[in-house]
Structure 1
Amino acid sequence: MPSISLGNWGGLPREIRLLILKALMQDGCKLSHLATVSREWQIDLERHNFARIKLTTSRIGDFSSMVHRNRVLVRYIWFCLELDDYDCTTCAPCRQALTDDEIDKALAISDTDHCPITASFQKLLSILSTWEPRGDLILDISIYSLSDSDHWFKYLTFMPDTPSAEIPTGGGMEPITLREAYHDIQHGWYAGVRRLAPPVEAIEKVFFEVMEVEPFDSAEQESQWWEQLPSVPVVTGLLFRQQSRRRWKPPALARLFARFPRLQEVHYEPWREWDRMQIPTDKYFEYFFDSLQRFNSHIKRLTVFENFNQQYPAYMQLYQSGVELRGCVSFRNPAPAVSRMAALASLKLEHLAASFIVDAGRFFEIEPAWAWPNLTSLVLTSKSLLPDEDPAKIEAVLQAAAAAAMKMPRLETMEIWNGRRGVAALFQYQALCRQEQARIVWRATWRLALERCAIQAWEAVMHQYAGRKLDLVQEQLDGAVVKSHGDAIHMLRLSHPVIRPISLWQIQREQEALEGVPIVGDSYDYEPRTSPRI
């Protein structure tokens, strides 16, 4: 075998060169200067560097020239609308000391020179509108302030969408890190433990609605602005993840979706409302789902996950002097009209996962003419899946689901689940086509004895589509280890993701940061101009 000079890079086998390159990519080192090693490395590094782009408002002016030669390599754009930083004077503005206009200004998301939201959208979509459609391109939109994690919400993180294999295991928060990073008595943290609940105004700050105060004078003006944005055929997937706690108006999103004529997949993770705004927001969601089924027939896969934290409702139940209740229930009931509109939107889909924003019991109140010719997978939540619920109600939901499945000729998987602290439950139907059989799995923190009528309903589904055998499987989980709905999702092992993997990690991380802090009821003492003590 001929000897290989240490300086002769080309003398190494290609497999070895690629292994070295891969190791460097995973090492986290700066890769740009490595492109000079060889033409081979330049090609591979550009493919790696340009596949995933983080784009902030400060860089959007250079975006077109930055990717001009390599835009065909771009597969994912994380569009970060990074809002202005803020200090302690506005992290929880005092309602008693300010007028309503001053409060709105302190809480609002401003269209500033630092983060010109409308101009940034206009510029980005104008650039992308010139790209030729080629393969898939995901646009991931986040809106946040880096200051959000400097005050009351130390555990917040702002990260790109990340494959499961690259996410840290567990919450990733060592006790020593909590003690050092989360020691801020002014904002309720002492040696890694939250001792003081955040004020209502602090929660309102991070959950404020985008474009609520400015730059538009009316809803009609805002609607006209969205509709004048250019068409962008290159985008095929959209992500709005739960790390953006600030709220996009569902009608605005519907108009944005219409700018993408090749849009095939949407992942939308809004947060629930914390006060009486839930009723008008549900009206917005009716419009959102209605617009999807009327104007966005090209969408094939839709995932909507309404996130929540079980502690926030208790914080929001007290307002100003503590006398006026804000009407924030611990667990809200999904609006029947929203569930119905989601069902209508699903008639044209191949996959739907709708968690907490709809309820399976209402979703399956179907019309005789409804049919799902393309649907292969359906994932829904049901508030009836609780250990203390009347079993007859659970049976009714499962039978209604079977009746709907009779109208889904391509159905491979249907999952109905629920999760919260101490509770996890999953009903799963899987059609195993190659084996000409199907399987029902009940995986939960309690056992459920399925009645014969429910089993027969699902046997009818199996027989209608050429199945021969229906297997029943029961698995019991330990409710003591379910600290949040995030833990429930992890333990239930659903066949299809109901939330992005990085979002699930963030939910578990938040719960880990709050672990040991009791869920506060409405019986604690309230001190005016201070937060409820825990």
Structure 2
Amino acid sequence: MSPVAMNVATDPMQVGRSSITKDASWAILPVEVRQMILNLVGLPISERRYNSPGSSKVARFAAVCREWQVFFETRTFRRLVLDPDSLNEFHAIVRRDDTRLGYIRKLWLRVQLSKYECPDCDEPEDEATQYCNNRIFTTCIQSLLETLKLWDPARHGTEGLALMLSASSPSDTEHWFNRCEIKDNYPFHYAEDLDLAPGIVDFHRTNIADPFNHHFFRDYPPPLDNGHVKRVQGTPLHLEPQKDERGRFISPYKNLPAVPIVKGLVMRRQFRRNIHVWTLSRLLGRSFVALEWFRFERTISQEPRKQLSFDQGMELSDEANAPLTDFQSHLLPSLPKTLRQLSFTQWEIPKFERWDGLEEVRFEISPYAQAYLPREMATLSQRLEQFCPPWQMDTAAFFRSIIELGESPTMLESSLKRVILRCALSSSDRSRRDFESLVILAAQAAMSLPQLEVMELWGTCLNEQDSRAYIFRYSYKDSRASIVWRSCRGKMVAQTRIIAKWSEVAQKHSHSTLAYNVIPFMETQEEIFESNGTFIYRHVLLKDLVFDPITQIILENEPTEWGLGEGSDSSQQDYVLTSNLVDLNSLDIDLLMHSFGPETDLESLQQELMDLNAEVDALVQQYYG
């Protein structure tokens, strides 16, 4: 790997020295012609293939003259990938000419941790390895921040850059796993790379070995305690104390520099290693002070103690044995005031990567987090413009919190414009009623969101005989409000009530009438089940708010359990919290009464009650005879 690995947006073309002669000086050519020549020398990224040779050689043309330097450095520095070996050189290059900071638009800090061999691949990290990895992480973070703090918006422009942050060991793909997307030669890092040919799906099919190798490494089945999974996920990284000139240890958090050049932060699901909540909260609060958007795709720990440490805080810090703080009390308050967009999703390790044995391994957030997430996410959403909260959150409780906040006289007006929420559904029989109840509750919440442009709800219920999927979308665009209903089986049961409630929202916020449309899914129930529900991703309007575009495609093409066929993270789709199910008995009485207005369709309501009574009678007959 070169000292500074660059994802150059251009490909070189051979330029002979005879192309610029004394008779035809470069300087006498019109500016337009010179730009055409330079653009031919540096072909745009969409016109190259990911296996094109020598794409980084175009950087050498920057030495021809000052004009060429500006042209090619703008493209060379536009996208950078930095690893531990390249950070010092990157710092030296920027120190020589800090104008280059103004060229960077996307920067990936790829922290490469220490390697490990067999049989350590089945064992948790020992203390020595944890310390070594934390030292590598600390050095990388401090070096990058020292370079980025040189940015001056007055000289470099105000656009800033998006930072992608990941940590993994080169050994992670050498033992049980063959995840090509975390290898050094993976070409698809950003949405613009999807234009590369061959495409990302073909690349994955070519670069993933026999799926059975995921479960049989060197002819041995993986350990029943999933030691290989724990090794890849490792221990959450934190900054290690450093020695000063006098040999005394000082806290690495005290002198974290502010780097307002970072406008966006991405932490991708593909990289299993987490950053400790304490360290992440300090980086957000003290360094990424001008952050505008944050895509946080976090992996849930298989070990309940580590997950509880994130949710609640159960360990000790290095600062005077003070308790390490949790997500609720410190990470959320540390989010910069400049933040306008947040996508926070928590992911399980896919089933095909682990060995559940006789008992399925569960990846769950703690009951403590389930209790506070709806209220905290509702409060946070009031100051955001775009928001995707965790899938494990109780969606009904989130809406009720929004309603309560809207009724509070001390709460500032919400700035939320675009929000998308996943609705967990319990069973095929109840899924439609549960989803429609959430849609009605969402309308009540939307009344206190005056800036709302798009609210989207989606959910799937997978059953081999009867799979269901739903999307509801409210949007306001070009002075027109509309709702769209999508499902496998036609119209809504509570159509009249839903239209009436959302018409109130449209009238209150936009003084417009409400357009209504029903668009059934074309996929069959068999196709829905075989895709593990991932088919719905392509139909969601705010998919870019839910997933990083690369993440979405990887999800849709991951192997199913045992590595057979194509599909998605079925464990993530199958994960349903009972606390997220809508029970009419748990809804506020006042809200229910308010839902039955003069425009209520009494016939459909009566039919719903009859259906409900029939279900109750059937259950009684089933269990009591």
TM-score normalised by length of structure 2: 0.68
Q: Provide closer, same or farther for how the CA distance between residues 6 and 440 of structure 1 changes in structure 2, counting only shifts above 3 A.
A: same
1:138 corresponds to which residue?
162
Structure 1 distance, partners of 2:267, 2:506, is 36
Counterpart secondary structure, 2:43: helix
Question: By how many angstroms is 1:150 displaced?
Answer: 1.6
Alignment partner for residue 173 of structure 2, among 149, 158, 181? 149
Counterpart secondary structure, 2:159: coil
Residue 281 of structure 1 aligns with an amino acid whose one-letter code is F
Structure 1 distance, partners of 2:250, 2:486, is 45
Q: Does 1:201 align with 2:221?
A: no
Residue 514 of structure 1 aligns with an amino acid whose one-letter code is G
1:210 corresponds to which residue?
236
* CA distances 1:6-39 after superposition (whole Å, capped 9, x unpaired): 6558459346424413427654422122334554
Structure 2 distance, partners of 1:313, 1:140, is 24
Is the CA contact (8 Å cut-off) linking 1:349 and 1:375 kept in structure 2? Answer: yes
Is the CA contact (8 Å cut-off) linking 2:125 and 2:231 kept in structure 1? Answer: no
Counterpart secondary structure, 1:172: helix
Q: Which segment is superposed worse, 228-237 or 272-281? A: 272-281
1:361 corresponds to which residue?
396
Structure 2 distance, partners of 1:197, 1:392, is 43
Is the CA contact (8 Å cut-off) linking 2:277 and 2:331 kept in structure 1? Answer: no
Is the CA contact (8 Å cut-off) linking 2:284 and 2:334 kept in structure 1? Answer: no
RMSD across aligned positions (CA): 3.9
TM-score normalised by length of structure 1: 0.79
Alignment partner for residue 112 of structure 2, among 79, 82, 86? 82
Counterpart secondary structure, 1:262: coil
Question: By how many angstroms is 1:448 displaced?
Answer: 5.3
Residue 435 of structure 2 aligns with an amino acid whose one-letter code is I
Alignment partner for residue 67 of structure 1, among 71, 79, 94? 94
Residue 282 of structure 1 aligns with an amino acid whose one-letter code is D
Counterpart secondary structure, 2:304: coil
Q: Provide closer, same or farther for how the CA distance between residues 462 and 107 of structure 1 changes in structure 2, counting only shifts above 3 A.
A: farther
**Identity fraction in percent:** 22
Q: Which segment is superposed worse, 293-302 or 345-354? A: 293-302
Question: By how many angstroms is 1:503 displaced?
Answer: 1.9
- Report matched runs for 1:263-282 at 5 Å: 263-277=291-305, 278-282=307-311
Counterpart secondary structure, 1:205: helix
2:505 corresponds to which residue?
461
Alignment partner for residue 259 of structure 2, among 224, 232, 239? 232
2:201 corresponds to which residue?
171
* CA distances 1:305-355 after superposition (whole Å, capped 9, x unpaired): 222355269834x5xxx6xx6862699997131122111111111111124
Structure 1 distance, partners of 2:250, 2:180, is 31
Residue 270 of structure 1 aligns with an amino acid whose one-letter code is R
Q: Does 1:500 align with 2:541?
A: no
Q: Provide closer, same or farther for how the CA distance between residues 107 and 357 of structure 1 changes in structure 2, counting only shifts above 3 A.
A: farther
Is the CA contact (8 Å cut-off) linking 2:557 and 2:566 kept in structure 1? Answer: no
1:341 corresponds to which residue?
376
Structure 2 distance, partners of 1:61, 1:81, is 14
Structure 1 distance, partners of 2:364, 2:374, is 20
Question: By how many angstroms is 1:152 displaced?
Answer: 1.3
- Report matched runs for 1:278-357 at 5 Å: 278-283=307-312, 287-288=327-328, 291-293=331-333, 296-309=336-349, 311=351, 315-316=355-356, 318=357, 328=362, 335-357=370-392
Is the CA contact (8 Å cut-off) linking 2:419 and 2:455 kept in structure 1? Answer: yes
Alignment partner for residue 474 of structure 1, among 502, 508, 519? 519
Question: By how many angstroms is 1:156 displaced?
Answer: 4.0
Counterpart secondary structure, 1:17: helix
User: Unpaired segments of 5 or more residues in structure 2?
Assistant: 1-17, 243-248, 314-324, 572-625
Aligned residues: 489
Question: By how many angstroms is 1:488 displaced?
Answer: 3.2
Counterpart secondary structure, 2:298: coil
Q: Provide closer, same or farther for how the CA distance between residues 423 and 141 of structure 1 changes in structure 2, counting only shifts above 3 A.
A: farther
2:449 corresponds to which residue?
408
Question: By how many angstroms is 1:495 displaced?
Answer: 5.7
Structure 1 distance, partners of 2:104, 2:570, is 46
Is the CA contact (8 Å cut-off) linking 1:423 and 1:488 kept in structure 2? Answer: no
Counterpart secondary structure, 2:61: helix
Q: Which has the larger radius of gyration?
A: 2
Question: By how many angstroms is 1:148 displaced?
Answer: 1.2
Structure 1 distance, partners of 2:259, 2:412, is 31
Is the CA contact (8 Å cut-off) linking 1:144 and 1:246 kept in structure 2? Answer: yes
Is the CA contact (8 Å cut-off) linking 1:462 and 1:470 kept in structure 2? Answer: no
Is the CA contact (8 Å cut-off) linking 2:559 and 2:566 kept in structure 1? Answer: no
